[in-house]
């Protein structure tokens, strides 16, 4: 059973207080959780609790990941995201969805860091060439 928290009832003052709690936390995990909650609330998105033992439909998974159902089916067909069948329907374990999302975020971060490193290397090379001229 999924529980949903309507963020429309939260005021800016509530969110500022939550941000203060986030900033005081020594735990990176707690800060990450609060960052997601605060960002979702500031964007007007409700927050849903989903048990990792739950199963979701491809449409629910696609909505959760912010992608089209067609794209999600491509990921399922390629084996990027595990699923099982219930009759003719595909179902995805919420724990697999959480793991996929975490890996996707890590991949995005790694790619951004790689691009940033390339940019620094490029700027350094340009500076060296400029010094030689």
User: Average pLDDT for residues 38-44, to the nearest whole number?
Assistant: 89
Distance of CA 21 to the CA centre of its chain: 21
pLDDT at residue 2, as a whole number:
60
- What digits encode the pLDDT tens for the residues 85-131? 999 999 999 999 989 988 998 998 998 888 888 888 888 888 888 87
Contact criterion met (CB below 8 Å) for 92 and 81: yes
In this structure, are 59 and 34 located in the same domain?
A: no
Closest CA to 83 of 74, 92, 71: 92
In this structure, are 35 and 76 located in the same domain?
A: no
CA–CA distance, 29 with 20 (Å, rounded to integer)? 16
In this structure, are 5 and 69 located in the same domain?
A: no
Q: What is the token pair recorded at 112?
A: 């951004």
Q: What is the token pair recorded at 83?
A: 């699923």
pTM of the predicted structure, to 2 decimals? 0.57
Categorize the per-residue pLDDT at 49 as very low, low, confident or very high, splitting at 50, 70 and 90. Answer: confident
Domain count, the chain: 2
CA–CA distance, 108 with 114 (Å, rounded to integer)? 10
pLDDT at residue 31, as a whole number:
92
In this structure, are 64 and 29 located in the same domain?
A: no
- What digits encode the pLDDT tens for the residues 51-80? 778 899 999 999 888 899 999 999 999 999
- Which CATH number goes with the domain that contains 101? 1.10.1660
Categorize the per-residue pLDDT at 18 as very low, low, confident or very high, splitting at 50, 70 and 90. Answer: very high
In this structure, are 82 and 100 located in the same domain?
A: yes
Among the ranges 38-42, 47-51, 72-76, which has the highest mean pLDDT value? 72-76
21, 49, 74 from 2: Cα distances, Å? 26, 6, 27
Query: Is residue 54 classed exposed, middle or buried when 0-12, 13-18 and 19+ CB atoms within 10 A define those classes?
Result: middle
In this structure, are 60 and 110 located in the same domain?
A: yes
Contact criterion met (CB below 8 Å) for 83 and 76: yes
For residue 104, give its domain range. Answer: 53-133
End position of a domain, from candidates 49, 71, 86: 49
Contact criterion met (CB below 8 Å) for 89 and 57: yes
């Amino acid at each position: 059973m999924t529980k949903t928290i309507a963020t429309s009832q939260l005021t800016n003052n509530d969110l500022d207080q939550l941000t203060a709690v986030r900033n005081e936390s020594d735990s990176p995990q707690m800060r990450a959780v609060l960052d997601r909650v605060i960002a979702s609330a500031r964007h007007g998105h409700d927050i849903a609790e989903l048990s990792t033992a739950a199963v979701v439909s491809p449409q629910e998974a696609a909505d959760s990941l912010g992608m089209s159902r067609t794209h999600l089916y491509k990921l399922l067909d390629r084996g990027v995201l595990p699923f099982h069948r219930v009759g003719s329907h595909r179902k995805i374990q919420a724990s697999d969805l959480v793991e996929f999302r975490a890996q996707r975020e890590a991949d995005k971060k790694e790619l951004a860091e790689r691009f940033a490193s390339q940019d620094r290397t490029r700027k350094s090379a340009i500076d060296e060439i400029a010094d030689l001229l």
